[in-house]
Amino acid sequence: MLQKLFKLLAFYFFLCMLCLLVFLYSKNGSLQISEPPDDEQKKEQYFDKVAENFWRTEAPGVRLGSTAAEVLQPCPETTPDLVGPLHVEFETNRTLDWVREQVGSVLQLGGRYKPPDCVSKQKVAIIIPFRYRDEHLNHWLYYLHPILMRQQVDYSIYVINQYGHGVFNKAKLMNAGYAEALKEYDYDCFVFSDVDMVPLDDRNLYRCFDSPRHLAVGVDKFNFTLPYKNIFGGVIALSKEQFLKINGFSNTYWGWGGEDDDISNRVRIRIKSISRPDSLIGRYKMIHHDRDLHNDVNPHNPYKLHETIKTFKRDGLNSLNYTVKDIKRDKLFTFISVDVHVPSGLNLK
């Protein structure tokens, strides 16, 4: 009888050992039994580590292998690295390779950045309407990446290129950029910036505010003053909620002019107020250029502005159609080529 009991106990002991082995295998993928070091102090650290690893469970928001002190805190209200007024010049020839070397090292593919030591309150997509402006883009990337990093923005850069050589439609590209960005990440703020606009003060924050934000308050070409009160172009920022509320941009402004006044109307109709930085902080330098090919002034556009109030509910994000032709990820930006379906009868030089 006693012998039977002893055999049973031995069998149980064997089973337990087997279970322990299976457990260790499943935890580490392989069973590694390393020898503890000889040195006494190292031996102590070794066993501390073993014990710590054995009992550790991961809390949400804590990186594997991090201690409680490494849990990321929200980024501060006023970012500590800002320097204020900036020297900006466009005489230097800046190639894309050179800009990549200068500012690319801390970026993730697609022109993506997250502050490493805090959690930003907003996730910001920066949308740039684009065609034939490679040189301008190089300057823009060279200046803006470091500014956005100092502002501790969680951001990506989307360059939305109009595919083909048809009449340009900047506002439709903006809408397409908004839609494409949202397919990738849960952005809550959208900054729409011309490719030739570089801020002259890094305290001009690329993020969203309670009201839609007009960032380009004083541009050098207008002697750093607002040319008219309701101007809402160059660089603007709208939260996802604000952008949805106005149904985005109109899709029907072909050629140069009007689309920025149309979105200004939409904001006035649906949201009432806009916000701006003060006139010193809101200064910009614009890269000088001639009018682009296939983007002549469209004389019909100003007349459309009287119609915004009647048309905005059905012309915008909810009527947007386009075809993505190509997506390329550079270190400095995501480049999306979009066919905006230029109407065949459109007759602009």
134 binds ligand UDP (CB under 6 A): no
Mark the segment that binds ligand UDP (CB under 6 A) among 13-21, 81-89, 126-134, 142-150.
126-134
Residue 151 binds which of Mn ion, ligand UDP, none (CB < 5-8 A, kind-dependent): none
Q: Are strands 189-193 and 235-239 parallel, antiparallel or unpaired?
A: antiparallel
Work out how close the CB of 90 gets to ligand UDP at its nearest, in angstroms, rounded to a whole number.
13
- Tell me which residues in 156-215 interact with ligand UDP (CB under 6 A): 168, 170, 194-196
DSSP 141: H
Contacts (CB under 6 A) with ligand UDP, residues 239-298: 292, 295
Only segment of 20-28, 58-66, 86-94, 130-138 that touches ligand UDP (CB under 6 A): 130-138
Q: Which two tokens stand for residue 26?
A: 């499943």
Please, which residues have CB within 8 angstroms of residue 119's CB and are 6 or more apart in sequence? 72, 73, 74, 75, 154
From the list Mn ion, ligand UDP, none, partner contacted by residue 170 (C-beta under 5 to 8 A by kind): ligand UDP
CB of 165 to ligand UDP, least distance (A): 10
Are 44 and 90 a contacting pair, CB within 8 Å? Answer: no
Residues that bind Mn ion (CB under 5 A): 196
Q: Which is nearer to Mn ion, 49 or 289 (CB)?
A: 289
Residue 133 sits in the site that holds ligand UDP (CB under 6 A): yes
| Residue type for position 270 | R
Radius of gyration of the chain (CA): 28
Tell the smallest beta-carbon distance from residue 57 to Mn ion (Å).
55
In 3-state terms, what secondary structure has residue 132?
coil
Work out the burial of residue 324: count CB atoms within 10 Å of its CB; fewer than 13 is exposed, 13-18 middle, 19 or more buried: middle
Please answer whether residues 138 and 88 qualify as being in contact, where contact means their C-beta atoms are separated by less than 8 angstroms: no
Chain residues in the site for ligand UDP (CB under 6 A):
128-133, 168, 170, 194-196, 292, 295
